[in-house]
Amino acid sequence: MKIGIIGEFNPGYYTQVALNEAFVHSAKFLNKKFSLEWIPTDMLSQSFEREVKELDGILMSMGTPYRDMDAALKIIKYARENDVPLLAICGGFQHVQIEHARNVKGIEDAEHEETSPGAKNLLISALSCSLVGETENLRVINKDSKVYEILGTENLEGKYHCNYGLNKKYESILFDGNLLATVVNEKGEIRGIELREHKFFIGTLFQHQLDSEEGSPSKLLNEFILSSFKK
């Protein structure tokens, strides 16, 4: 089994280092062996068909902007349409929403403010207050969701390292169909999403890998790994 982490790894990004460590925690906890590879988006764009056919699970990483946003959106679309397990964290979570807006909701010019600040449809915009290094109290708002089934609790804390989130004016458009808002903060701002009728397709703005420890790994990462084995 092989999982691809889509994004540009930087050993100076503690959140990405923590993700690698979280995979080690989960693999040991689950007693599972698998292959793990960071795949830069510009490399993905050069050999897309070969790369995706090798992957049993796709993790859209934090540490954006991606070098090749179009390649990132293309593999998200591939996972969505082909029932390939996908877990998206922070910047990955943001790009899942852009892909859905463009290819499902018809907002073809949906953009990210970090890379296209002058765009007409800024689906992802700067947060009013930076969440770098912050922690929020969160709530699962749909008990029929896969997120609730995995976490087994309604209340949780989420750690962050980001400055961008979903532009609130697009919520009613984005979440009126198959894409489900699952986790919110105390202000009702969306922090977690999932796709209905999909094996595993979950995104979070909060970075649950930061809470992973040996013997107590991320439950979301655990379930993503198990789903990837079932592909």
Alpha-carbon span 78 to 123, nearest angstrom: 21
The whole domain housing 165 covers 2-229
User: Strand ranges (DSSP E) for 133-213?
Assistant: 135-140, 155-159, 164-166, 179-185, 190-195, 201-204
Tally the domains of the chain: 1
Model's pTM, two decimal places? Answer: 0.96
Q: What is the CATH number of the domain that holds 32?
A: 3.40.50.880
Return per-residue pLDDT of the chain as tens, 231 residues. 999 999 999 999 999 999 999 999 999 999 999 999 999 999 887 778 888 889 999 999 999 999 999 999 999 999 999 999 999 999 999 999 999 999 999 999 999 999 999 899 999 999 877 899 999 999 999 999 999 999 999 999 999 999 999 999 999 999 988 999 999 999 999 999 999 999 999 999 999 999 999 999 999 999 999 999 986
Give the per-residue pLDDT at 47: 78
Give the per-residue pLDDT at 49: 82
